[in-house]
Amino acid sequence: MKLFQCQNCGQLLYFENRRCERCGFGLGYLPDRSELSALTPRDHGFEAMADPRPLYRFCSNAEADVCNWLVPAESHDLFCLACRHNRIVPNLSQPENGLAWQKMEAAKHRLFYTLLRLRLPLLTRQESEENGLVFDFPADPPPESGPKVMTGHDEGLITIALVEADDAERERRRTAMGEPYRTLLGHFRHEVGHYYWDRLVRDGGRLEACRAIFGDDRVDYGESLQKHYRMGPPPNWQENYVTAYAATHPWEDFAETWAHYLHIVDTLEMARAFNVDVRPDLDQSGLLTARVTFDPYEHQSIDVLVDTWLPMTFALNGINRCMGIADLYPFVLSPAMIRKLGFINDLVHDRIPETATRAA
């Protein structure tokens, strides 16, 4: 993620800002330009200072205060590039659901920022019933009415349980499951990894290459999941996996690695925007010295990404500890994990050749 600037007064802005705090101009996001723009009201829409032609209007979900993305005024689409992928949204007749949906959409829009920056394929269900990406955000039913909603992915349908937007409940689940990290954005990044395994690996003719890195995905998933919850991960899982859950099955390993790749490129872009320079005086070797001098979304060397990422996280973890807060990045990247991240990096930049192998 990058910083933005008000075109009217020069005030620095964040992605989610709706109004400039200095000059009061309304703001809207232009996904095609990756730009947050100051807006001037006109008779039939808004003129965006970042792109004066054509006129724009807000996504229909702006009425619920969950979206600040813009749509060309003459477009027939009611929703923006991110919101048109929604299927089930929270029932706003229940007041508590409004804030929960705001948190959901904040995380989802950050996800879509990344997917658009990486120029990954994004089809809606209207464009492709078979390959479209769609999101459900259901609330749990009353206890007597059925089981709780499960977060997951099923052939392009990503379900994120609305209760995950409750910070206290999400922390309770994180602790109960022994996870070092659990966030809404992390859920989105993980689940969309399953979607892109389908699109880029299974349907993209890259199964052989993926299996060589992540293992054989034909291993029974249900049995693997039961074994994981019954016996836990293998004792040496840190040598080959970024999380214990990644050791469950090759699909989960891919999704966890995918999520961590998105963590890395998005955070490094923000470090670049702030011109963060890590150069500890006590580091005589230079191994903990780093500065983001490149666009992480465009750079295609995993070694450069990781060599910059590790000093950044070392510094940020140390700063968090000074505030009594858990580490920002409580993970270890082993050589095996860096190799897997390299596969994801090559995959998103279309550097892995297709083969004849498809899902079997």
Give 228-260 pLDDT, tens digit per residue. 999 999 999 999 999 999 999 999 999 999 999
**Residues 56 and 187 placed together within one structural domain of the fold:** no
Q: How far apart are CA 268 and CA 280, in angstroms?
A: 18
**Residues 197 and 331 placed together within one structural domain of the fold:** no
Q: What pLDDT is stored for residue 53 in this prediction?
A: 81
**Residues 167 and 97 placed together within one structural domain of the fold:** yes
**Residues 234 and 293 placed together within one structural domain of the fold:** yes
Q: How far is CA 290 from CA 245, 269, 283, 299, in A?
A: 30, 13, 11, 15
If one counts every other C-beta atom within 10 angstroms of the C-beta of residue 9, the result is 13
Q: Which of 176, 203, 230 is the last residue of a domain?
A: 203
For residue 342 the two structure tokens come to 């390299």
Query: Domain span at residue 154?
Result: 82-203
Model confidence band, residue 38 (pLDDT cutoffs 50, 70, 90) = very high
For residue 359, pLDDT beyond 70: no
Q: How far apart are CA 255 and CA 252, in angstroms?
A: 5
**Residues 56 and 166 placed together within one structural domain of the fold:** no
**Residues 256 and 299 placed together within one structural domain of the fold:** yes
Q: Which of 153, 176, 203 is the last residue of a domain?
A: 203
Q: Which of 48, 80, 112 is the last residue of a domain?
A: 80
Residue ranges of E strands in the chain: 4-5, 12-13, 27-30, 35-42, 45-48, 51-58, 70-72, 86-88, 134-136, 152-154, 157-159, 277-278, 290-291
Total count of domains within the chain: 3
**Residues 86 and 190 placed together within one structural domain of the fold:** yes
Q: What pLDDT is stored for residue 357 in this prediction?
A: 54
**Residues 209 and 354 placed together within one structural domain of the fold:** yes
Question: What pLDDT digit, counting tens, does each position of 76-103 carry?
Answer: 999 999 999 999 999 999 888 999 999 9
Mean pLDDT of the region 128-157: 92
Q: How many CA atoms lie within 13 A of 93 on its CB side?
A: 0
**Residues 176 and 253 placed together within one structural domain of the fold:** no
Q: How far apart are CA 92 and CA 65, in angstroms?
A: 12
Q: What pLDDT is stored for residue 9 in this prediction?
A: 97
Mean pLDDT of the region 51-78: 94
CB 8 within 8 A of CB 20: yes
pTM: 0.93
- Burial of 41 from C-beta contacts in 10 A (0-12 / 13-18 / 19+): exposed
What does the DSSP 8-state code read for residue 19?
B
**Residues 173 and 267 placed together within one structural domain of the fold:** no
**Residues 359 and 226 placed together within one structural domain of the fold:** yes
Q: What pLDDT is stored for residue 356 in this prediction?
A: 57
